[in-house]
Structure 1
Amino acid sequence: MHSPSAFEACIAALWVFPIKSCAGISVQHALLIPTGLAFDRAWMVVDADGEMVTQRELPRMALIQPELVCPGVSVTELVLHAHGMVALHLPLTTDYPTENHAIHVRVWGDQVPAFNMGDEASVWLTEFLGSSLGPLRLVRFDPDHQRPSSAKWTQGLPSLNQFSDGFPVLLASTASLDELNARLQAKGEAAVDMRRFRANVVLGHSAAPHAHELMPHDEDRIGTLTLHTQGESVQLQPVKPCPRCPIPNIDPDSAQSHPAVNDTLQVYRQDPRVNGALTFGMNCVPVAGIGQELRVGQRVSADWAF
C-alpha cells in the first residue's frame, strides 16, 4: 500500500507539439529524450529574418495540425494539415538536411543553428498564415546544438531544449483545469480544454487505494516526480512555474481570441515566484530515465515540497 501522505497520480494524457505554436498531437506513449518528449518542439516557424513566429503574432498557427507518420519503428514523414490546404508532406530521413539548408534562427534570446525545411514548406505556410511578416519558413532544430535551460531555475541540473520556451517538459493536471473551468462557467463562460496550455504531461487522479485526491495545482507543491515505467523509472524535477502569455486566450479550434481565460486566472493565479505573473503548470527537467517510454495510465508518485 502506498502512503496516503505521499503524492499519487497517473498520466492522464501525453502531448507532443512537433511545431512550436502549432496544434499538438495526443499520443498514448512517448519516448523521453534529453530535450523532453521525442519530436516535441523540434520544428519552428520563422520570418524572413529568422525570428521565431508564434500564435502571439499569427493566431492561425493554432489551426495547423502536424502529423508524424510512423509506419514502423521510426518516424518517416512530417505532414501538415490545415483547412482549405492540400496536405504538405515533408519526408524525414536519418540524415539531416545538407549544409546548404543550415541557417541560424532566434528563439527568444537564443540564436541557434537550424535546418531550413525548404521552399515548398515556405510557400505552404505563407499561403495559409498570410504574408504580414513576409515569407515564412519552417526550420528544424540542429540536434548537435545544445540549448540549455536557465541555470537560475535548474540550480545546476543539466537541462536541454529544442524550440521549447525554455524547459524540456511542461506538466499540468486535470484538477487544475477543472478548477479553472468551474470558475469560467460560474461567470457564464465556456469551458476550455488542456490544448490551451500546451502541456506535455497531464496528471490525473490515481486509482491506487487510499491515494490522496488530486487537488488543483498540486503540481506546484511536489518535489521530484517518479513515473513508474516498464524499465528504469523516469524522474522529472519541477523547477519553474509556467508564466502565461495571451496564447491560452486563443481558441484552438477557431484561432479567435477572447480574454476570459487570462481574466479568470488573474483572480487567483498571480504567482509571487515569478513576480506576480499568471501561472498554470510547472516546467520540469528530466533527471533520470532518458530513453524510457512514457505511457498514458502510468503511475506517478512524488513527495510533497511545500
Structure 2
Amino acid sequence: MNNYPISGIFIYPIKSLGGISVDAAVVEERGLRYDRRWMLVDENNTFITQRKYAELSLLDVQLNADCLEVSHKMEARKAVKFGIDEHSDVLISVTIWDDATFAHEVNPAVSAWFTDFMQMNVRLVKIAEDARRLVDTDYAHHDEVVSFADGYPCLLIGQSALDGLNAKLDSAIGMDRFRPNFVFTGGEPHVEDDFATFSVGEVTFNAVKPCARCVLTTIDQQTGAKGAEPLKTLATYRKKGNKIMFGQNLLHQGTGVVRVGDELVVEKWK
C-alpha cells in the first residue's frame, strides 16, 4: 500500500504575493481559509500578477490573529498592516481573467502603500462575501466557486515531482515557484496525475485538471530574478499540446480541517 502523507500546506492571502506555510487549514467553499481572498487591481480594476510585475514576488505576507502584514523581503521599507475583516462598504466590479466579480477596497491608505511600491496606481481589494465566481463549467461538478485563485479552489503537487525536476536542472529550485496549497510525499514523480478522488483529513477532493504553468514559475521568489527555467526543462517532458503541466487542480466536497501529517488516501484512480 502506498503512503502519501501531507508534508506542506500553503496559503497565499494576497494573489501573487508571498505565501504562508501553515500546520493546518480550514477548507471552505472557496478553498483554504484566507487563500487568495485579496488581490491588487490597476486603474481599470483589472487584476495584476507576477506574470507582468515580477517585483510582487518580493512582498512577504504574514497572517496574525486578526490582521495581515505585508513587508519587503529585501528593503527596509515600512510594512503595511490591515485587519482581516477591514474593507470599505463600496462594492466594485473587478476583473480576473475573463471573469467579473465583486470586491471591496481594503482602505485608501493600504492602496497608497502598494501604489508607492509599484509606482503605478493600484488598489488592494478583498473579495465580497457574497461574490459567486464560478469554476470553469467544463470541469465543475456542482457549480463550485473560487476566490481570486486563477481557476480552481486548491492545487496539489507531489514532492517527488519537484525532486524529479530538480534532478534535471543545473540549479535546484523551490516548491514556491509552483504555489501549491498541498504538498505530499511518496510515490513516483507526478503520481498525482493518476489521482481521481482522494481524501485528506475531513475532506474529499477530486483532481479535475492538470495545472498549466506560466512564466511565473521562472521568477525566483526570493530575489525577483527571471530566467528560462524551469519551463525550458519541463517542456522536454511535461508538455501537452501547447501547455506545460505540473500539479493537479482540485475541487472538493464539503468543508473541514486538513493538517500536515494527514494521510492522503486515494479512493479512485484515473
| TM norm structure 2 | 0.95
How does 1:213-228 map onto structure 2 within 5 Å?
Answer: 214-227=187-200
Equivalent in 8, 13, 22 of residue 8 of structure 2:
13
Please report how far the alpha carbon of residue 65 of structure 1 lies from its aligned counterpart in structure 2 after TM superposition: 0.9
Following the alignment from structure 2 to structure 1, what is the Cα–Cα distance between the partners of residues 251 and 213? 19
State the SS of the aligned residue for 2:193: helix
- Name which of 151, 161, 182 aligns with 1:201: 182
Which of 74, 99, 112 does residue 110 from structure 1 map onto?
A: 99
Amino acid of the structure 2 residue aligned with 1:137: R
Mapped contact 2:196–2:208 kept (Cα < 8 A): no
Which one-letter code corresponds to 2:38 in the other structure? Answer: W
Contact 2:88 2:107 in 1 (8 A): no
The corresponding residue for 2:203 is: 234
Cα-to-partner distance string for 1:171-227 (whole Å, 9 max, x where unaligned)? 00100000000010xxxx21011100000011113xxxxxxxx11001100111111
Inter-partner Cα distance in structure 1 for 2:263 and 2:18: 27
Q: Distance in 2 between matches of 1:124 and 1:97?
A: 15
CA distance in structure 2 between the partners assigned to 1:302 and 1:40 by the alignment: 24
For the Cα contact (< 8 Å) 1:8–1:302, is it kept in 2? no
Of 149, 152, 160, the residue aligned with 2:138 is 152
Structure 1 or 2, whichever has the larger Rg, is 1
**Partner SS state of residue 39, structure 1:** coil
Deviation at 1:254, TM superposition (A): 0.6
- Whichever residue aligns with residue 89 of structure 1, its letter is K
User: What does residue range 183-194 of structure 1 map to in structure 2 within 5 Å?
Assistant: 183-184=168-169, 189-194=170-175
* Amino acid of the structure 1 residue aligned with 2:178: F
Read off the aligned partner of 1:217 and give its amino acid letter: H
Alignment of 1:31-110 (within 5 A): 31-70=26-65, 76-82=66-72, 83-93=75-85, 97-99=87-89, 101-110=90-99
Specify the alignment match of 2:269 in structure 1.
Answer: 305
The CA deviation at 1:260 is 1.7
Question: 1:250 maps to what in 2?
Answer: 219
Q: Would the aligned equivalents of 1:85 and 1:128 in 2 still touch at CA under 8 Å?
A: no
Give the partner amino acid of 2:32. Answer: L
Aligned partner letter, 2:145: L
Deviations 1:37-61 (A, max 9, x none): 0000000011011010000111010
CA distance in 1 between partners of 2:88 and 2:50 (Å):
29
TM-score by length of 1: 0.85
Secondary structure at the aligned position of 2:3 is classed as strand
Deviation, 1:277, is 0.6
Q: Secondary structure at the match of 2:17?
A: coil
Q: Are residues 1:277 and 2:243 paired?
A: yes
CA contact (8 A) 2:87 2:126 kept: no
**Any stretches of 5+ residues in structure 1 without a counterpart?**
71-75, 206-213
SS at match of 2:150: coil
Aligned-residue CA RMSD (Å): 1.3
* Separation (CA, whole Å) in 1 of partners of 2:49 and 2:122: 12
Aligned length: 268
Contact 2:7–2:185 (CA<8 Å) still a contact in 1?
A: yes
Alignment correspondent of 1:173: 158
Q: How many angstroms apart in 2 are the aligned matches of 1:183 and 1:78? A: 37
Percent of residue pairs identical? 31
* CA apart distance, 1:303: 4.0
